[in-house]
Amino acid sequence: MNSASELGRLEQIVSQFLLKTLHIILESRIPSLKPQDHSEELPSNSRVKRSNKWFNLALGDRPAALENLHFWHRNLMDPMVIDIIVVHREPQSQSQSNSCGRVALEGAATETVIERWVIQYENLRVLPVQSGDFSSSYKKTYKKSIILLRTIYSVMRLLPSYKLFRHLTSSSQISKYDVIYKVSSFSNPFSREDEQTMKQYSFVPVEAVNGRLCVCVTYRSVLSDFDLESSASFPPMIIADYVGSPTTDPMRAFPPPERGIRATSFPIRGTTRSPSSVPIHRPHSWSSGIHGAAPSFQDQPLGGSPLVHRGSYIPNDFISSPKNIQGPRIQNYRLPSSHYKTSSFDDQLSPPFSPASSPSPSPPAHLLSNSPNQSRLRHESAPLAIPQPILSRSLRYMSPNFSDPNRHSLPPVSSRNTKPEPSMQESPSPSGIGTSRKSEGLWPGELYSGMASQSFGSKVCRDGKEDSGRFSGLLSSGSSPRVGFSRSSSRSFQDDLDECDFSCPFDVDDVDTSDSLSSQNLDARKGLEFTSSALSMGRKSQDAAVGALVHMLRTAPPLRQGSSCYSTQSLKGEQEANLGTASGFFTPQKAADALEELNSYREMKDLLLSKSRTLSS
């Protein structure tokens, strides 16, 4: 391999390094360029783009702006200076124009540079280059630059500006601050007073055969000038009715709190959520990032002129003209990729030069919090089986549906058949009948909750613990701050059992009995047998159990998409109308599911019996 080809490879490594660094910096500083949640991407290696494989750091698709900026950066030896600028819109215009730290813009906005990254390949042709050095030099350079990029990625999250970025991306309100970036090959020096507020961090350069890659950052250590609405540090708090964040698990969309929780108000949203739906629920600051009037930099000369990007606006001049100048050079970058063979060393560390790149190891199953938790959900938290109410037509019949793993902890609501089966009404156990008659005088909801509350009691506790395990997994893998949840979930369930302050959600006649499936009837009968003893318990525990039920319903995962057809109708107790619409809702249970349900009933029964014993004693 001759030195020319080696140098060409080295150039490509440096070029891709610049691009990758720019990608890392922009995606973690510019709210408008924040990547989508990677959870929906398939972890398969074959689907990782070649550009993503560079430096073995898959960041997702590059923003379009990055490609254009890369064209603009002509000379590899020129430093790439990236300024991260906070734009502060003020109601009244200011005429300050001191140094480049703060610049007054038209329309009363102030710009402050909060970070400046300088990436440069310093060409040091001090030592004569020997041919033997080339053979492994670019490989070492590549390996070291992989590590350097990892450290840059980590440091991006440790610097103070990251908090501002997170605040802007997570805040639902339009902020008076926006973050833009500026890429140039030169930098205006900071004023003395700005320098005093800024610190510098330099990464150890990566040596190459004829130079070295240097990265350093100058950053504001204190961002107190920007009065963000929320404080940066959140002391841990216990959030009793935390319902999670939409981005933690796209398959589990929790109902928003303001809807209120009724016993039959299940979220209409389906369990499947497209990636594009996530941003809808988490407003981005794109709108605040795009300024109305384009800046006047279009008239600036090319070459060393700074390129200011506000939001996603890209001036056409910069796209068209640089191509003419950089045409041959760009081709230099592109062509070698098809000519070079992949090296035989370190398949995992070879740069993806060629189109048929070396077989990288299969990337780790980028597992999002869903899949282990979903599997955990399938096995650990058995579906909660609310036994079928004995009598009233207005009671909603809920039964577990094991076939849908997403509905594990919330009994599905069926609007399939609100006409009660005769078998359902004729409870096999005498005690069941007796208790049902007894409860006729109660509100259907109360009956339902009373019956089910004790069965919930044990289940709630169990689910609480399971939930805490589940959510701690979610928490550890999510990217949005979730404070103080994992340990509090189980405690909150038990607290709910102890307290009697929850309003009964079943005050209105908004539930209905439904279901004509015989398998459901069988389970219902069994449920009735087990839970009939629950009615003998005191009212105090019933209220607590109601609260537990409310809480569980609040945190229940969404039902399937078919649930939208029943949720609102059944609320009004229109039983006959639901007959036809709910036909497609139930799926027959398998024997294993029924057995599992039976076991859960047994456990409920044991718990209830033990509780009744303690109460009676």
Partner 1 sequence: MNCEVCQLKELEVEHFEIREVLRCILHTIMFHRALGLVRPKDVDLQLFDITYVQCGDVELEKKIDEKIDQFLCWVEKHPNKKSQICLSFYEVKNNKAMWFSNRVERLYWEHWYINFNVVQHPKAHSSKSHHSKVVDPGENSSGGESARRTTLEASLQDVLFQIIRFVNDKKDHIPSIPSREGISFPYDITIPSSSDTTFGMDMIKRMLQTGHPTMLS
Interactions with partner 1, residue window 369-408 (CB under 8 A) = 372
Going by C-alpha positions, the residue among 528, 396, 548 that lies closest to residue 463 is 548
Helices 591-616, 444-477: crossing angle, 10 deg rounding:
110
CA distances to 272, 390, 438, 445, 594 from 526, rounded to whole Å, are 33, 11, 19, 20, 11
50 binds partner 1 (CB under 8 A): no
Tokens coding 215? 């990265």
Q: Does position 485 bind partner 1 by CB under 8 A?
A: yes
Residue 486 engages partner 1 in binding (rule: CB under 8 A): yes
Please give the sequence-ordered ranges of beta strands (E in DSSP) within 90-220, or none if there are none: 102-105, 109-123, 177-184, 198-202, 206-207, 211-220
Q: Which of 68, 64, 60 is nearest to 35 (CA)?
A: 60
Q: Tell me, rounded to whole angstroms, the distance of Cα 614 from its chain centroid.
A: 45
Piece of 1-9, 153-161, 241-249, 291-299 that binds partner 1 (CB under 8 A): 153-161
Cβ proximity to partner 1: between 147 and 240 the closer is 147
DSSP β-ladder status, 102-105 and 177-184 = unpaired
* Among 270, 432, 444, 478, interactor with partner 1 by CB under 8 A: 478
Least gap, CB of 148 to partner 1 (angstroms): 7
**Binding positions for partner 1, 199-258, rule CB under 8 A:** 203-204, 206, 232-236
Q: Which of 135, 151, 583, 610 binds partner 1 (CB under 8 A)?
A: 151
The yes or no reply on residue 483 touching partner 1 (CB under 8 A) is: yes
Chain positions 334 to 373 lying near partner 1, rule: CB under 8 A, are 345-349, 360-361, 363-367, 372
3-state SS class at 201: strand
Q: Which is nearer to partner 1, 137 or 326 (CB)?
A: 137
Binding mask 541-560 for partner 1 (x = CB under 8 A): --------------------
Q: Could you tell me the sign of the dihedral formed by the alpha carbons of 566, 571, 573, 574, in that order?
A: negative
Task: Confirm or reject binding of residue 46 to partner 1 (CB under 8 A).
Answer: no
By CB under 8 A, tell whether 176 contacts partner 1.
no
- Give the span between the Cα atoms of 32 and 19, in whole angstroms: 18
Contacts of 39 (CB under 8 A, 6+ apart): 250, 366, 368, 369, 370
Axis crossing angle, helix 131-158 with helix 3-27, rounded to the nearest 10: 0
Q: Are 108 and 91 in contact (CB under 8 A)?
A: yes
Residue span 456-475 as binding mask against partner 1, x where in contact by CB under 8 A, dash where not:
-------------------x
- How many of the chain's residues bind partner 1 (CB under 8 A)? 58
User: Minimum CB separation from partner 1 for residue 472, in Å?
Assistant: 9
Query: By C-beta, is 312 or 477 nearer to partner 1?
Result: 477
Q: Does 51 bind partner 1 (CB under 8 A)?
A: no
Of the two residues 272 and 362, which places its CB atom closer to partner 1 in the complex? 362
d(CA 250, CA 143): 36
What residue ranges bind partner 1 (CB under 8 A)? Answer: 38, 41, 43, 45, 48, 53, 56-59, 143-144, 146-148, 150-151, 153-155, 157-158, 162-163, 166, 203-204, 206, 232-236, 345-349, 360-361, 363-367, 372, 475-486
